Structure 1
Amino acid sequence: MTQAGTLEDLQEVGAYLQGHFLLTTGRHSDTFFLLARLTEWPQRLIPWIEILRERLGDISARTVVGPAVGGIIPAYQLASTMGNARVLFAEKDTDGSMQFRRGFHLEPGEPVVIVEDAITTGFSVGKVMEAVQGQGGRVVAVGTLVNRSQVPLPWDVPVASVLQLTGVRNWAPDECPLCQQGLPLTAPKR
């Protein structure tokens, strides 16, 4: 087994892919992180979460929230390291917003850490932030297993990443050089 927090570790479990991919954001990329292949192995995920917990430092939160589906398992595992923290997840609504369902509720001012499996543009995390704030919660940090964003993220809270990558390209579909080359587009999450 390779060291946690590395591309090699992700490659071993089939979570790091190269090709021509449709990202959840609708953008295209030559690199895909199918982190469900990491989270399906609890003993491999635990060291990643330990690294994330360390990088979050002394951030204190009563609740950890993950966007469905990719953030649920990492959020659950992180919450298990935080003493008495609970874990919730937000789900996509028909209008594209993220909502709390299943009776999940935040108290006014409740401190929340949002955990995602991978961040490309930060769009999903931003939607979860809106859901947290819509219930009066207060986001105190964001954590992610893989941060592949190529621009500064627009949040005024600490962001901790286990694996921070630069140079991972992604394109709008009409600007994608892989499409222009005629390479088949795949959607690994389907």
Structure 2
Amino acid sequence: ISAKDQSQAQEEIAAEIAAKNKDDIKSRLVGDQQLLEESIKDAVLKTQFSSPVGAETKNFMVTVTVSSKAVVFSRSQARELLTALLNRNVPEGFELSLDKTSVRIEFLKVEEPDKLFLSGTIKAMVVPKFNRQEIANSLRGLKPSRAEAVLRGLKGINGYQISLWPRLPYFLQILPHRSSRIKIDLIVRENE
């Protein structure tokens, strides 16, 4: 047995164990957790050979202990973090519309066992902030024409639709007197 034989056997066994460790880590992921494969660090902790260098033998055994460490993170937590960071820069009177938000996260590096550097890109729309309850209160008991005037006076509204049920003759049409019966939906459209 040469030192080269031992080294080659150790490398092959360590690579097999590292691959099994990686599969084991992947099998333990739950929910939206993601393994950063670039962060996997394998370390050979112990190697033991059944025969020393220079021994004459057809076969020999090698026992290798490999430790694998990897970074696993939750995509939803990363999204929440990026959203919180982006929220800091949203101008007063506006808010993020998270309906059409897309997040991309790239691994940069692991500097220490507890420090992970990620690069994230979040694409979200910023929309005017509306207090739906205040709007509903201001529309209570109004005729549709007066309600339209109120809605036209609000900043950031490009369009609206008033639907009343049951259908009544025009002179009887009036919005509900209880604001809880007024439904306000915000529809965000991207500029094209």
User: The TM-score by the shorter chain falls in which range?
Assistant: under 0.3
Question: Given the two structures, how large is their TM-score scaled by the length of structure 1?
Answer: 0.21
* More RCO (CA 8 Å, sep 6+): 1
Question: Given the two structures, how large is their TM-score scaled by the length of structure 2?
Answer: 0.21
Structure with more helix by fraction: 2
Structure with more strand by fraction: 2
Larger Rg: 2
